[in-house]
Amino acid sequence: MNVADSEVVSGILQRAGYVFTQEISDADVILVNTCAVRDNAEQRIYGRLGLFNRYKKRNPGLLIGILGCMAERLRFELVERERLVDMVIGPDEYRKLPLLIEQASEGERGIAVRLSRVENYEDITPLRTDGVCAWISVMRGCDKFCTFCVVPFTRGRERSRSLQSVVQEVLMLAERGFKEVTLLGQNVNSYRDGDYDFADLMRSVAEVDRSVRVRFTTSHPQDMSDKLIETIASNDNICKYIHLPVQSGSDRILKLMNRTYTIDHYVGLVEKIRRAMPGVSLTTDIISGFPSETEGDHQVTLDLVNEMKYDGGYTFKYSPRENTKAWGMKDDVSEEEKGRRVGEVTQALHKISLALNQSMIGTIERILVERHSKKSDCEFMGRTDTNRTVIFPRNGEYPGEYIDVLIQRANSATLFGTRVDAENADGGNRLGALQETSL
Ligand code: 5AD
Ligand code: SF4
């Protein structure tokens, strides 16, 4: 979401005549896009601001601005109390950036943090650098008010872009050669444009160009409609990958979190999704150590993780956030205990993804080639439809191409293999012995 927002900001600045530098010491303006979802994200930003202020000592004209959710939360502290930055701009005020930069260069400190009920930046062309995968923000804000979450306070109420503007953007991206789009929103499946819902949007986007893959994130289990499941299942270019955060395996904790579903409902939903799409990849988010979480609650969370056989997941220690309802609850699970629980959940998720990944050894997977692997120029990386990262030696292909790779090695996060010509390979879709792994 923040990458997508930074591209919108870059689009606004480019339109105002600014140019980008790769060299931080050349910059006259440094803007930091921030996250406030957990305290450690904010602490990292404070560290960065210290570093940027060192550049300011060398170049007194340098302006420093904070964008995004942390700006919304800490507006006065950052500008007035700490005097660490010249500008603070919330997520709905990016259009004001050129004006604020101008004012700040005349010595005025600028704060623009009003949240809007309508701003969705649909007329701004984001400045994108990547040539294969693009993020498209289709709705902003969140009305769910999970009791642990600061997003409804820092990003405001839900609002959606028009279906037409999203389709138009996808068309433009397809013409520029992009091969994958990810539709983004804090709570993307509650998208609405008049009578059109998220399933209608997904179908329309998928129809733009069948060679362009479509992904989406993040969905709330409550808004995962049958129509949406059917739409994902029936469109080949909609990836069979769903990030479906459960947060906890305990009904009591889910209630305290205001997640509005029970584990029974969630499990039923997952069964429905798997029936409609055998082989679908499912990932989740889990918070450990929410107020009053007992060892019993933790154990049922572990049980759920093992039962769901998630393809992957993100785990977090509960971090109290001001303004949220849970802020008023006693943060009574010790740091140490949170650490142990989150470690156990992470380990359980790893064990499952390792087994699932190893069970793919010997299969041939179709992937979209994205870029060089981080470790070596002689290797490329791509992803399967189910969002698994695959590394393979370069062999004449180029980013944006779909190729088939024989999987030969796997760890819990990555598959490794070599390119094959699937049409001519013996044994259909599976080569060699499938490694037996019990889950
Ligand atoms: N503490 C810990 N994790 C949190 N998340 C959101 N708020 C908090 C918090 N206060 C996690 C949730 C969410 C993900 C984006 O971040 O799991 O799904
Ligand atoms: Fe936060 Fe997601 Fe809940 Fe919205 S649905 S309040 S963004 S955790």
CATH code of 69's domain: 3.40.50.12160
Place of tokens 């205001």: 258
Which ligand has the shortest distance to the CA of 321? 1
In a domain, 346, yes or no: no
The whole-number pLDDT of residue 439 equals: 32
Domain coverage including residue 386: 364-438
Antiparallel, parallel or unpaired: β 379-384 and 389-393: antiparallel
In a domain, 52, yes or no: yes
199, 231 contact by CB (below 8 A) = yes
CA 226 to chain CA mean position, Å:
23
Rounded CA-CA distance 262/246 in Å is: 10
pLDDT at 129 over 60: yes
CA of 316 to the centre of ligand 1 (A): 7
Q: What is the DSSP string of 364-415?
A: EEEEEEEEE-SS-TTEEEEEETT--EEEEE--S--TT-EEEEEEEEE-SSEE
Q: Which of 56, 80, 112 is the last residue of a domain?
A: 112
124, 12 contact by CB (below 8 A) = yes
In a domain, 26, yes or no: yes
In which order are the strands placed within the sheet that holds 312-317?
241-243, 281-288, 312-317
Choice between 429 and 350, residue whose per-residue pLDDT is larger: 350
Place of tokens 């050129």: 98
In a domain, 107, yes or no: yes
pLDDT in tens, 384-406: 999 999 999 998 899 999 999 99
CATH code of 411's domain: 2.40.50.140
In a domain, 200, yes or no: no
Say if ligand 1 is within 6 A of residue 285 CB: yes
120, 161 contact by CB (below 8 A) = yes
CA of 111 to the centre of ligand 1 (A): 27
CA of 319 to the centre of ligand 1 (A): 8
In this prediction, residues 146-166 reach a mean pLDDT of: 97
In a domain, 84, yes or no: yes
Say if ligand 1 is within 6 A of residue 121 CB: no
Strand partners, 67: 33, 89
Domains identified in the chain, total number: 2
In a domain, 118, yes or no: no
In a domain, 41, yes or no: yes
Question: Roughly how many angstroms between the first and final C-alpha of the chain, as a whole number?
Answer: 33
Length of the chain: 439
Q: Which of 112, 141, 169 is the last residue of a domain?
A: 112
Report residue 361 as tokens: 């050894």
E strand intervals along 23-125: 29-34, 63-68, 87-89, 110-112
- pLDDT above 90 covers a percentage of the chain that reads 83
363, 390 contact by CB (below 8 A) = no
Question: pTM of the prediction?
Answer: 0.93
pLDDT at 310 over 90: yes
pLDDT in tens, 49-64: 888 988 988 898 999 9
Q: Which of 72, 90, 112 is the last residue of a domain?
A: 112
